[in-house]
């Protein structure tokens, strides 16, 4: 499948982090929106909360520059919406590369789980300077999964999916473009609609680490901005904009 000509691709063998390289390109050159960085390996792959993202050959390390604002003149909320666009793109990719897979879920806001274990991580980083942009970074475990992570991890190959990283690149690039365009033309609600029914532990007790004190309560769903709604034990409702969900 040829890469859509709207992308500008930098395909690399080894790089520290594809997100860092995408940011460098976005800041230091006139790299257009949809500049894509794909590396076979990362020597300093990063996850959320500055965690390490193990990046040997065999998995997909994919980062895309999106120039902002896309919609409505506001950079920051749109960067948040790109998290959901990325999650929806990963879900579509997993369905394509591991057809018939059961137990696909999304741990809010954007970790994609297979059989309860993480198969992809998403790191969106925004630069709200004079020429605002976001980098959407996606690590998809295609052939290999680490075993020393805060959550159990898995890979597509372990679920009967492909172990071919080039196929994964093609599928993810096509799916992301679809959701990028949907975000622009129809807005974030339309993007999130494709994640309905996939939220892990909906209606169950979860723990959310969003500040100094962890919050524990029942996950009641998302509000109209994609924030997580939690019913605390004292009956009060809390909405969380940014946080890490843990299963209790
Ligand atoms: C997470 O779940 O904590 C997010 C992981 C994001 C990893 C990807 S791999 C491609 C891109 N480059 C990075 O350094 N990080 C992201």
**For 87-115, how does the pLDDT look when each residue is reduced to its tens digit (9 = 90+)?**
999 999 999 999 988 899 999 998 999 99
HSE-CB at 6 with a 13 A cutoff on CA atoms is 12
CA-proximal residue: ligand 1, atom 3 (nearest): 47
DSSP secondary structure of 58-70: TBEEEEEEEES--
Other beta carbons within 10 Å of 6: 12
61 lines ligand 1 (CB under 6 A): yes
Distance 51 CA to ligand 1 centre (A): 9
Average pLDDT over residues 213-242: 94
Does pLDDT of 75 surpass 60? no
CA angle 167, 10, 68 (to 5 degrees): 100
- Residue 38 contacts residue 8 (beta carbons within 8 Å): no
Q: Does pTM surpass 0.85?
A: yes
What is the arithmetic mean of pLDDT over 213-233?
94
Q: Give yes or no for residue 51 CB within 6 A of ligand 1.
A: yes
Cβ of 139 closer than 6 Å to ligand 1, yes or no, is yes
């Amino acid at each position: 499948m040829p890469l859509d000509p709207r992308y500008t691709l930098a395909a690399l063998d080894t790089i520290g982090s594809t997100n860092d390289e995408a940011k460098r390109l976005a800041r230091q050159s006139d790299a257009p929106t949809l500049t894509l960085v794909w590396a076979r390996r990362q020597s300093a792959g990063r996850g959320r909360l500055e965690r390490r993202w193990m990046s040997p050959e065999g998995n997909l390390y994919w980062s895309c520059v999106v120039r902002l604002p896309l919609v409505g003149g506001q950079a920051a909320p749109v960067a948040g919406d790109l998290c959901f666009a990325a999650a929806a793109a990963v879900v579509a990719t997993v369905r394509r590369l591991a057809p018939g897979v059961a137990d696909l879920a999304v741990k809010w806001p954007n970790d994609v789980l297979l059989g309860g274990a993480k198969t992809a991580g998403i790191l969106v980083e925004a630069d709200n300077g004079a020429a605002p942009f976001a980098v959407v970074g996606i690590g998809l475990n295609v052939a290999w999964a680490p075993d020393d992570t805060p959550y159990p991890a898995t890979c597509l190959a372990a679920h009967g999916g492909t172990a071919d990283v080039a196929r994964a690149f093609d599928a993810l690039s096509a799916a992301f473009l679809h959701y990028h365009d949907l975000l622009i033309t129809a807005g974030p609600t339309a993007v999130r609609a494709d994640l309905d029914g996939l939220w892990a532990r909906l209606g169950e007790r979860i723990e959310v680490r969003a500040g100094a004190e962890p919050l524990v309560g029942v996950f009641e769903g998302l509000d109209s901005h994609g924030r997580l709604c939690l019913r605390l034990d004292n009956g009060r409702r809390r909405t969380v904009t940014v946080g890490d969900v843990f299963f209790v």
